[in-house]
Amino acid sequence: MLPSVEASSCATDDKTQVVLDALAKAFAEPFALVNTDSGDLVYFDHEALSCDLYNRLELLVEVGRRGTPEIIEDVSPLTMLAIPLRCLGVGANLVAVGIFVTQQVTQEEEMAAAARAFGIDVRRALRWSAGRTVWPPDVLLRVAGSALENLTLRQQTSRLETEVAESNAHTEEIYAELDLLHRLTGQLRLSECEQELWRNALGWLASTIPAQCLGIVLRGTIDGKVSDDNLAEWDVFTEGVCPVERDELCELIRRFGPIPLSEPVLLNRAETTLPTWHCPTIRELVCVPIEGSKQPRGWLVALNHHGTTQASFGEFGSVEIQLLRSVGTILGIHNSNLGLYQEQSQLFASSVQALTSAIDAKDRYTSGHSNRVAFFSVSLAERLGLSKADRDTIYLAGLLHDIGKIGIDDQVLNKPGELTAEEFEQIKLHPQLGYEILKGVRQLDKVLPMVLHHHEAWDGSGYPHGLKKTETPRMARIMAVADAYDAMSSDRPYRKGMPDEKLDEIFRAGAGTQWDPDVVDAFFEIRNEIRQTAQVSSCQASLEYEDALS
Ligand SMILES: [Fe+2]
Ligand SMILES: [Fe+2]
């Protein structure tokens, strides 16, 4: 309960101190603070007059309830002002109480009578009142009202500032997450194999998550099917210094719950300092699933927060869980897509190989021709500085360039010896036929110009369109040289392949008439290499460029 004797100043919290400072600034007089719930005097300035608040507690409770400043007692020349502070969020029903002089003291008896009415020591009241500011009661109430308003405004401003700061911090977190996800999704297109995908993801995560180690643990696969039986089959990728061995990490995840674990796990020191925790080198941990089509493909883990020092501990929380979950979902989807893409690529490669075999089967004299033309074209393209993407395209085109022969009469195609003019006209249809066969296949769009134009000539005497010089696409001009070389150098049942000297002579003569002279130059530069390759089986040559099909 309230003491009616002098109390010394006591400590206040920050919010209450702000209120006391504001009141001191407005009135230049000390105040006492009363908690009207408990009846305690929570603050008393030793410069203030000690009065009897105990008998005025009921009045103070009423002021606190009504919520506006009030004069609760006025015995001229002293008055008692009470200011309720509850609306300022100071944490309790506090009321500030101050004693003021309301008129000049001309007679000591008046002051003595007022002091006795307030329960104040008379001699102290007389000393205290000398030179004090005179406050008319109505002015006191106006100043108290505006002080409360100011404090309320300051409090609202402070709350808004806090909200803005929190919002900024949250925005920064969201930005970091979006930035990572943006980089991740942007780079995913470049990941053509799983390992590259996992390693890239860990590298990007390491720049965002404050962890000693980031890891990806993938469930094992046996014959293409996910299996959890043998931890040795699980794959582990890490970035940073992993605080546990590979096997220990797998075992740890298995202990978190029935595999496949599909819910996030968050452990901080509250858990890892328990005697039951068996992995002393791990202090903090987040583990989230990498979503698969039906079950998790594996897990993303962050181990040991970077922010841990001797003085304080960093902890993982909802921010890290959310970020890892987002990444886990994206990786899971991309991984599923990658599987489908690889399946599709294999199907595509098998289809192209089947078509190539069909051409070779149809034209029994030129067995392996398609594979060799593909490989020679790539060698020439490389010498001429074409990009890897273009070299892949020309390889594919080489395999398929004579696909139109499927539509040519077997008798004509396999006729030993010279062809009649009419038969040759039939053979000349194969580029256009090939174009018609392949034009509906979207993945083969880029090879169509080579299929259609590999028999054009530099001087315009070729077929089917009689294009001249650079009117013919460059890759088709390259293929024309590769095609001619294989046709002339290969043995046929009815004739031997041409000797090298004869071939060289033909190419020299045809540069600038039959073929693009630059391509013929490139041919002479790598002629020996091409001749050596021609000795190797076409199968080996094709294997080297098989990725062009995927
Ligand atoms: Fe051809
Ligand atoms: Fe050909």
| Length of the chain in terms of residues written | 550
Report CA(388)–ligand 2 centroid distance (Å).
23
DSSP-based three-state secondary structure for 93: coil
Report CA(419)–ligand 2 centroid distance (Å).
16
Report CA(451)–ligand 1 centroid distance (Å).
8
Report CA(369)–ligand 2 centroid distance (Å).
7
Shared domain for 280 and 151, answered yes or no, is no
Instruction: Give me the CATH number covering residue 70.
Output: 3.30.450
Report CA(385)–ligand 2 centroid distance (Å).
23
Report CA(401)–ligand 2 centroid distance (Å).
6
Instruction: Give me the CATH number covering residue 211.
Output: 3.30.450.40
Please say which residue of 100, 134, 156 terminates a domain. 156
* Residue 88 confidence (pLDDT): 80
Supply the range of the domain harboring residue 49.
14-156
In 3D space, the residue among 31, 68, 28 whose CA is nearest the CA of residue 51 turns out to be 31
Report CA(398)–ligand 2 centroid distance (Å).
8
Shared domain for 375 and 332, answered yes or no, is no
Shared domain for 143 and 61, answered yes or no, is yes
Report CA(390)–ligand 2 centroid distance (Å).
19
Shared domain for 540 and 395, answered yes or no, is yes
* Residue 166 confidence (pLDDT): 81
- The ligand with the least distance to the CA atom of 366 is 2
Q: How far apart are CA 195 and CA 193, in angstroms?
A: 6
Report CA(454)–ligand 1 centroid distance (Å).
6
Q: How far apart are CA 15 and CA 78, in angstroms?
A: 29
Shared domain for 328 and 400, answered yes or no, is no
Report CA(525)–ligand 2 centroid distance (Å).
22
Shared domain for 471 and 538, answered yes or no, is yes
Shared domain for 497 and 531, answered yes or no, is yes
The continuous run of DSSP H or E covering 81 comes out as strand 78-84
* Residue 215 confidence (pLDDT): 95
Q: What tens digit of pLDDT does each residue of 16-40 get? A: 888 888 888 888 888 888 988 888 8
- The ligand with the least distance to the CA atom of 486 is 2
pLDDT < 70: residue spans in the chain: 1-12, 91, 183-192, 224, 293, 308-311, 364-366, 493-494, 534-550
Q: What tens digit of pLDDT does each residue of 86-130 get? A: 888 776 789 999 999 998 877 888 888 988 888 888 888 888 888
Using CA atoms, how far residue 343 sits from 296, 387, 436, 443, in Å, is 20, 26, 27, 15
Report CA(183)–ligand 2 centroid distance (Å).
45
SS (H, E, C) 28-45: CCCCEEEECCCCEEEEEC
**Residue ranges with CB less than 5 Å from ion ligand 1:** 402
Please say which residue of 104, 130, 156 terminates a domain. 156
